[in-house]
Amino acid sequence: MKTRLFALLCFFVCTASAQAFDRARLDQYLETLEANDKAMLSLAIVKNGKPVYQKATGVAHAGEEQNATIHTQYRIGSITKVFTATMIFQLIDEEALSLDTTLATFYPEVKNAGDITVAMLLSHRSGIHNFTDTPDYRDYMTQAKSRSEMIKLIESLGSDFSPGSQAKYSNSGYVLLGFIIEAITQDTYASQLKKRITRPLNLANTGYGRAMDDSNTAARSYTYQDQQWSPAPVTDLSIPGGAGAVVSTPTDVAIFLSALLNGKLTSGASLTKMREMNQGFGHGLLQFPFYDKVAYGHNGGIDGFQSMSAVIDGDDVAFAVTANGMNYSINEISVAVLSMYYGRPYELPDFDQSAISLSVEDLSQYEGVYSSQQLPLNITMRVKEGQLTAQATGQQPIPLTPYSAREFRFEPAGIVILFDDYDDGIDHSAFTLKQAGGSYPFSRE
């Protein structure tokens, strides 16, 4: 229920005016992604709380000629956490609990519950192990679980570190926050979501825990395998709960984030706390840097769905991308969308170029450890089972596909690696990493 990034940066946008927004070019870009089986998605851009761009591509149900529309609903995964955090802060504003309230008040059997505060749950500093990282998660993810079953499951997980000592992403903490909302209000999460957020903001296409049915209102999700879209496994939404069970449209998500960041849903003090970052996490929000400004929002992933949404601080521009099929980098798509909206030059990708094959002997020339003065990580190139792989510090190795003797790509993360060349051929000792609008030179040590 989160997106793992290969590089350190999510996306950049420029600070220019959006007056030159080229809608036709953005239409062309999204249609090109669809035509080349790179993404099936829906996009919305909201300015001052009002939609200024909406477009859906692909199908809601593959093989049934049921096209997606701007009203099609998608599972938004971990963007749900922003809804959950917002309702927790509303309860704090109402003095129903505080950031210092301990988990022991509600669920004392969770390990270290007496030392875990609501603030720690919100900012991923509780130490509670993330249940989606357990080996058996995929064995039960499609089966319905009751509240008591989920609580017992989380109680059995133990702790990764002392509460408050560090930060580590945990869906478990947000499932518990969803249950805390229900315990305090003596009401369901779905009812509280409607009462506190969707009804006041008139978000008619947003709901909690809805099954993906056969109607036009809900999309099914897909993964790209063997040159076609194949149905993805379907998580029962009783499991992610307050961590990832909201279903919505990009327009609704963008309007919600715009309202939140404009102080329409919580007190100023609560919003300030939500935006306060520590080790990469706020209290319900993530922060994305761009030039001299920042954006606040969240990303999400569940089954074959991927999503990204943020508000450009100071501009009151919100965007949201929700996808039910992704064979490309959602971060790269975010770069393109925001670059085109702000009139920043952006080179449309060339999907006509075909991958090539290189011999193991040729690939071995690229092996080595490379470092950069611009990024605090090394990249190790190795040939494994006839394929060149790249492994960044602290990351898993990723396979690189050659498109020429100097260009390698990992398209799921929007990564392009270009080795230097000279008159007599390829310089295997240096390359440029391109991702999310940035270019970073690396040299072999």
Mean pLDDT of 81-109: 98
Bridge partners (DSSP) listed for residue 374: none
Cα 436 to the chain's mean position, in Å? Answer: 14
Distance (Å) of CA 211 to CA 84, 179, 223: 19, 20, 19
Distance (Å) of CA 205 to CA 181, 213, 241: 22, 14, 18
For residues 152 and 273, give the distance between their C-alpha atoms in angstroms, rounded to a whole number.
30
Helix (H) or strand (E) holding 150: helix 147-155
pLDDT value for 216: 59
pLDDT value for 212: 54
pLDDT higher than 60, residue 317:
yes
Going by pLDDT thresholds of 50, 70 and 90, the confidence category of residue 71 is: very high
pLDDT higher than 90, residue 210:
no
pLDDT value for 351: 83
Q: What are phi and psi of 12, to 5 degrees?
A: -125, 150
pLDDT value for 425: 85
pLDDT value for 16: 39
pLDDT higher than 60, residue 215:
no
For residues 293 and 260, give the distance between their C-alpha atoms in angstroms, rounded to a whole number.
18
Per the model's pLDDT, the better-predicted residue between 121 and 289 turns out to be: 121
Q: Which letter does DSSP use for residue 393 in this model?
A: T
Q: Which CATH architecture has domain 1-352?
A: 3-Layer(aba) Sandwich (3.40)
pLDDT value for 346: 80
| % of residues, the chain, pLDDT over 90 | 76
Sign of CA dihedral 200, 203, 208, 210: positive
Q: What is the pLDDT of residues 58-67, one digit of tens each?
A: 999 887 778 9
pLDDT value for 217: 79
Helix (H) or strand (E) holding 300: strand 293-302
Top CATH class, 360-444: mainly beta
Going by pLDDT thresholds of 50, 70 and 90, the confidence category of residue 436 is: low
pLDDT value for 73: 95
Domain borders along the chain are: 1-352, 360-444
Per the model's pLDDT, the better-predicted residue between 220 and 2 turns out to be: 220
Bridge partners (DSSP) listed for residue 288: 295
Mean pLDDT for the chain? 90
Q: Identify which of 306, 283, 280 has the alpha carbon closest to the alpha carbon of residue 294.
A: 280
Q: What is the pTM (predicted TM-score) of this model?
A: 0.85
| % of residues, the chain, pLDDT over 70 | 92
pLDDT value for 349: 81
The lowest-confidence range among 114-128, 208-222, 293-307 is 208-222
Tokens 């959602």 -> residue: 330
Distance (Å) of CA 398 to CA 180, 383, 395, 409: 39, 11, 9, 10
Mean pLDDT of 426-433: 92
- The rounded radius of gyration (Å) of the Cα atoms in the chain is 22
Sign of CA dihedral 267, 98, 161, 113: negative
Q: Which letter does DSSP use for residue 78 in this model?
A: G
Q: What are phi and psi of 376, to 5 degrees?
A: -80, 55
pLDDT higher than 80, residue 51:
yes
Give SS3 for 335.
Answer: helix
Q: Identify which of 391, 385, 415 has the alpha carbon closest to the alpha carbon of residue 403.
A: 415
pLDDT higher than 50, residue 13:
no
Q: Which of 2-6, 257-261, 343-347 has the highest mean pLDDT?
A: 257-261
Bridge partners (DSSP) listed for residue 44: 54, 320
Give SS3 for 66.
Answer: strand
